[in-house]
Amino acid sequence: MNFLELVQDRYSCKSMDGRKVEKEKLDYILEAGRMAPTAKNLQGQRIYVVESQEGLAKIDKITPCRYNSSTVILVTWNKDEVFIYPGGKRDSGIEDATIVATHMMLAAKSIGVDSCWINFFDPEEVAKEFNLAENEEVLMLLNLGYPAEGAGPLANHGSRKAIEETVKYI
C-alpha cells in the first residue's frame, strides 16, 4: 500500500472489539511518535500509555469516546520545552504534539491497528485525573485497537473538497 492509499484508508474507528494491541505493535507505534520532527528538535512531547483497568476507567470517566479500545495514548507536551516564535505570541507545543500524534496514527494503520483521535474532554480534568505536572498541556487522547464487527468509516469519509478549493498558488 502506498502512502496516499494508507491515508485514504485510515479513518476514526468508533467501535473497537476490545482486543489488546500486541506489545511489538505498540512499541512500533510509539517509536514512530518518537521519530516525529519537532521544532528545534526539542521533543517536548510526553506520551502516556493507558492500558490498565484503573487507567481506562479514568478515561471512561473523562469522555464517552473510548469506544471499547484496549489502549489509549495520552499525548501532552511540556510547556517548558517549546520553541517560542518570533514575536513571542505563539509556541510550538500544539504543533509538535500534533505531529507526534499523527505519526502514531499513521504508523498504527500501517500495521493493521485502528485509531481514533479523541478531543471530546476537558484537558484540565485529564491533567487532574492522571496527576500531570503543571507544566504539561494535554493535546489529545488516541484510542488504539481493532475494529469491532461492522465497524467502518462514516458515510462521508471519502468526501473531499476539490483541491482548488483548499490550495492556492500565490
Q: What is the pLDDT of residue 6?
A: 94
Instruction: Compute the half-sphere exposure of residue 170: CA atoms within 13 Å on the CB side of its CA.
Output: 3
Q: What is the pLDDT of residue 33?
A: 98
Q: Which three cell numbers stand for residue 45?
A: 512531547
Question: pLDDT digits over 72-101, tens only?
Answer: 999 999 999 999 999 999 999 999 999 999
Q: What is the pLDDT of residue 127?
A: 97
Q: What is the pLDDT of residue 58?
A: 98
Read off the pTM. Answer: 0.94
Question: pLDDT digits over 118-170, tens only?
Answer: 999 999 999 999 999 999 999 999 999 999 999 999 889 989 999 999 999 99
What is d(CA 137, CA 46) in angstroms, rounded to the nearest whole number? Answer: 9
Question: pLDDT digits over 3-21, tens only?
Answer: 999 999 999 999 999 999 9
CA distances from 26 to 45, 118, 124 (A): 17, 18, 26
- CA angle (67 as vertex; 28, 145 as ends), nearest 5: 20
8 A C-beta contact, residue 143 and residue 13: yes
Counting every residue, how long is the chain? 170
Q: Which three cell numbers stand for residue 32?
A: 514512530
Task: Phi first, then psi: give them for residue 36, nearest 5 degrees.
Answer: -65, 145
Work out the number of other CB atoms within 10 angstroms of the CB of residue 1: 9
8 A C-beta contact, residue 70 and residue 19: yes
Q: Is the pLDDT of residue 1 over 90?
A: no
Residue labelled with grid coordinates 494491541: 21
